[in-house]
Chains A and B, each alone.
Chain A
């Protein structure tokens, strides 16, 4: 059990939920097993080598499935507890022990972790099953499953750790695993470059995260959630703002928020199940988790909270605009992920009014985005790994299951009434309008643009006339791939049930505090109607612009500036290059020149001077004995004269 810290009084005008977990008993005591299972799978697969080739993928899937089963059992156990007693901790061992500073390897299982556990293990299990079919012909499938297991284990540690240092361990593990998976097809230079890019950009975010942890340690003397949350109200606001902004930087890196968004689109170089895993269940949700979990920090740092909202608004529009212009089906989905994560960050940045809805949208997004990524993988599987939507068209008859499941995801993401995305996005827009009209407008416009690009994707892929490459005969994928799609499609439709009777809001109250309701100028049903209308407009525009015209097989070149910019990811790479890479390169070149001419000049000049001097001096060694005798005599005379002079 985690050491109980003195409970601070309620800080500020917000009630900060205290994280003071009780002891874990029964099935909850097995919480460590949730992480240990996939980790053991990863170790066996990666250390076991070729011996595990034959059954490795089954082991990898089984460990994650077992984690999922355990997560369900733990959720049931947690549901059976009193509402005020739903935070349990499990102390595994002392990790760091320096003087008074102690970090235990502590796990915290509470309603927030419980939801994440279900999402991560559940979606990962489906993705594992799907990968058995998708990677069937890859010679390195066993290694792929090893990396997948490592990824899941790291992500589970991230959401279960009860200490920021433990979170950081999982955080870095996720970064490593994503690097390995994005660059899985390392023989492709583009994949290797994308992996490196993701790793480097994530490293920038990690700096923010590690600085935030150091600052917490300096300020509070502890990095445990319980300790920080108890003392957060008493720290100066400037410190809390700094911690909040640094945490935001970390969250931006992992969750691909502007300005650290550039890696996400390139990350599509990895195998499609990886994209689904990174974009739905793990990795990008880490930033949202961090902000929600650190609610006690952001409650005491209004400036940082505003920064979260601004970043989120920019990102949700940024990603949506990129999604509109891409022809690569996976990149459209990537842009959409960026945008949807922007929605979650927006909700998380709104404070107690939004935390629960951020997590709600995160869950529904996890379902429908995993569904659509796996659907896109299925489409690629059927069309010979072609990703260009201009080469698709009329696939709905060739791949009926994929089409139907994808359609469920589509209806969910645009927020078609009744589907899961409708409930979650509607709540976020509502909270955003309650906070600030400008923010609300951004969320509303984002919803419209989302409807546009997703409709465009649907029309180009499944409708219209066939524009298939010669020799391509699209076919439905095997059962091992379509069954996960069916499950995810069902979840995409039904995910909204979590909101039934405000269940998810009540469920998360012990972690993030009760939801604050803003006074809205118009009734809630009017906002719902407004959102639906905006979505309908987006769909209609897409039908008019894309559905009613033939789609050229080559992307048109004479396009507007906006389209060109969106195709170039809104010049994200150019901005990075201009602001960071080029000045950094110039700085390095300058330092190299200084080193070569300045430092080396002094060192080598000194040695050259000594060399030249010795060149002169060694002439004295001329080989004539009589010269030496003269110098000895001269020396003796000088010594005698000196002695005489001294004793005079």
Chain B
């Protein structure tokens, strides 16, 4: 069997980039893209594990993630659009009214 380790490493790198992006970037669009990056990193990992075990369960899960991500993009972009329209800003730090 081929060595699948590089795929997993790539997945980990992509996930880390996404996570750091979510934490450090303020622009909502970029944060959103970083979330997508993390989702796809985990998709990659799922597919790799499916290949490793020789069954389809991981691939099925990956499809589910894609579907959910698509739905999430619809809702998320709509929220970001609405916030941008009312505040003229796409910064996630500006939308901090809901707090203690």
B96 at the interface (CB under 8 A from A): yes
A42 to B23, CA, bound (A): 88
Q: Say whether B100 contacts A618, CB under 8 Å.
A: yes
Provide the A618-641 mask, 1 if CB < 8 A to any CB of B, else 0: 110111111001100100000000
Q: Say whether B99 contacts A623, CB under 8 Å.
A: yes
Q: Say whether A626 contacts B93, CB under 8 Å.
A: yes
Q: B19: nearest residue on chain A (CB-CB)?
A: A633
Provide the A18-32 mask, 1 if CB < 8 A to any CB of B, else 0: 000000000000000
Provide the B26-50 mask, 1 if CB < 8 A to any CB of A, else 0: 1000010000000000000000000
B98 at the interface (CB under 8 A from A): yes
B60 to chain A, nearest CB (A): 23
- Set A618, A623, A624, A626: member contacting B22, Cβ < 8 A: A626
* Interface secondary structure of A, over-half rule: helix
List residues of chain B with CB within 8 A of the CB of A625: 31, 92-93, 95-96
Q: B34: nearest residue on chain A (CB-CB)?
A: A629
* Interface secondary structure of B, over-half rule: loop
Interface residues of B in 64-100 (CB under 8 A from A): 92-93, 95-100
If A626-B92, A626-B93 touch, whether A633 touches B23 (CB-CB below 8 Å) is: yes
List residues of chain A with CB within 8 A of the CB of B19: 633
* Contact-residue size bin, chain B (C-beta under 8 Å from the other chain): 10 to 19
Q: Say whether A622 contacts B93, CB under 8 Å.
A: no
Provide the A309-338 mask, 1 if CB < 8 A to any CB of B, else 0: 000000000000000000000000000000
A621 to B99, CA, bound (A): 5
If A629-B22, A630-B23, A633-B19 touch, whether A624 touches B96 (CB-CB below 8 Å) is: yes
Q: Say whether A621 contacts B100, CB under 8 Å.
A: yes
Q: Say whether A623 contacts B98, CB under 8 Å.
A: yes
Interface residues of A in 597-648 (CB under 8 A from B): 618-619, 621-626, 629-630, 633
List residues of chain B with CB within 8 A of the CB of A624: 92-93, 96
A621 to B95, CA, bound (A): 13
Q: Say whether B92 contacts A622, CB under 8 Å.
A: no
A435 to B98, CA, bound (A): 95
List residues of chain B with CB within 8 A of the CB of A626: 22-24, 26, 31, 92-93
List residues of chain B with CB within 8 A of the CB of A633: 19, 22-23
Q: Say whether B100 contacts A622, CB under 8 Å.
A: yes
List residues of chain B with CB within 8 A of the CB of A623: 96-100
Q: B99: nearest residue on chain A (CB-CB)?
A: A623
Q: A636: nearest residue on chain B (CB-CB)?
A: B19
List residues of chain A with CB within 8 A of the CB of B22: 626, 629, 633
Q: Say whether A619 contacts B100, CB under 8 Å.
A: yes
A625 to B76, CA, bound (A): 14
Q: Say whether B23 contacts A622, CB under 8 Å.
A: no
Q: A618: nearest residue on chain B (CB-CB)?
A: B100
List residues of chain A with CB within 8 A of the CB of B95: 625
List residues of chain B with CB within 8 A of the CB of A630: 23
List residues of chain B with CB within 8 A of the CB of A618: 100
List residues of chain A with CB within 8 A of the CB of B96: 622-625
A633 to B19, CA, bound (A): 8
A417 to B19, CA, bound (A): 120
A147 to B14, CA, bound (A): 97
List residues of chain A with CB within 8 A of the CB of B24: 626
User: Can you list 22 pairs linking A and B with CB atoms under 8 Å apart?
Assistant: A618-B100, A619-B100, A622-B96, A622-B100, A623-B97, A623-B98, A623-B99, A623-B100, A624-B93, A624-B96, A625-B95, A625-B96, A626-B22, A626-B24, A626-B26, A626-B31, A626-B93, A629-B22, A629-B23, A633-B19, A633-B22, A633-B23
Residues of B within 8 A of A (CB): 19, 22-24, 26, 31, 92-93, 95-100
The 4 A-B pairs with the shortest beta carbon distances in the complex, nearest first, are A623-B99, A623-B96, A618-B100, A625-B92
